[in-house]
């Protein structure tokens, strides 16, 4: 008789744990759905932004200023590269020739 009570209590405990786990899982599922909804809205906004940019490019809007900015950036990069090359040359000339080392 005691074993039947223990068995019944064990089953009830197990059912209670399963129900609690199921409720917890449902809560997590609801949280996930909310986050997916937010993500969907953000992706939609990003897509709208890209569509607007594509339309502006097709119409020719902002094409010239963008090309000018890219040309300026390219020129700046060339100047920086030339400056770095001159700096390297200066350091090598100032340092002098590398001494030879003989090791045994």
CA-to-CA distance for 100 and 96, rounded, in angstroms?
12
Q: What whole-number distance in Å separates Cα of residue 27 and Cα of residue 40?
A: 20
In a domain, 49, yes or no: yes
Structural domain for 19, as ranges? 1-60
Residue 67 and residue 83 in one domain: yes
Tokens coding 86: 């001159």
Same-domain pairing of 43 and 66: no
Q: Which residues contact 62 (CB under 8 A, 6 or more apart)?
A: 56
Local structure of residue 6 (DSSP, 8 states): H
- Over residues 3-35, the pLDDT tens digits come to 777 788 889 999 999 999 999 999 999 999 999
Question: pTM for the full model?
Answer: 0.46
């Amino acid at each position: 008789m005691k074993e039947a009570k223990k068995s019944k209590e064990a089953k009830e405990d197990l059912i209670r744990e399963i129900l609690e786990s199921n409720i917890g899982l449902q809560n997590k599922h609801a949280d996930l759905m909310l986050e997916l909804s937010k993500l969907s809205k953000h992706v939609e906004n990003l897509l709208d932004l890209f569509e607007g940019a594509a339309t502006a490019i097709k119409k020719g809007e902002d094409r010239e200023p963008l090309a000018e900015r890219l040309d300026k950036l390219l020129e700046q990069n060339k100047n920086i590269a030339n400056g770095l090359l001159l700096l390297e040359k200066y350091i090598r000339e100032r340092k002098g020739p590398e001494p030879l080392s003989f090791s045994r």
